[in-house]
Structure 1
Amino acid sequence: MVTAEEHTVIGGLGSAVAEVLATEKPVPLAMVGIRDTFGESGKPDELMAKYGLTARDIVAAVKRLKGKKD
């Protein structure tokens, strides 16, 4: 499973999904989101690229997980 959010992964959607999966259905999980860092201001597309939140980053996370299962 891959979660993607424009938010920090700490305490975000990915963390909530990880808690449920850990107890209900353990599966590989990748969280696409802002890592433990301070945010900054800027153009949205530039910030998305800087923090690894683009569609390309999400696809890469899926491919990494798929590689773990094979």
Structure 2
Amino acid sequence: MAEPTFEENLAQLEQIVANLEQGNVPLEQALDQFKTGVTLSKQLEKTLKEAEQTVTQMVKEDGTTVTFVPEKNA
């Protein structure tokens, strides 16, 4: 089975948050959903950090990469 996409994980996390906000989930189920939500949150954060690192890399003409640092406007 294929690993869920970022969007699928985000949708699942949003559903868990909505369920917990409603407050009508049994305690044991709420704890399980909370644990799943924390795991999803960590996976999403990791994916975003990896994407940020990829976006901030520039490939030079010789094939090497350098980190992109935007110029600050004074």
TM range (shorter): 0.3 to 0.5
Q: Work out which structure has the larger RCO, using CA pairs closer than 8 Å and 6 or more positions apart in sequence.
A: 1
Name whichever structure is richer in strand by fraction. Answer: 1
Q: TM-score when scaled to structure 1? A: 0.33
Q: TM-score when scaled to structure 2? A: 0.31
Name whichever structure is richer in helix by fraction. Answer: 2
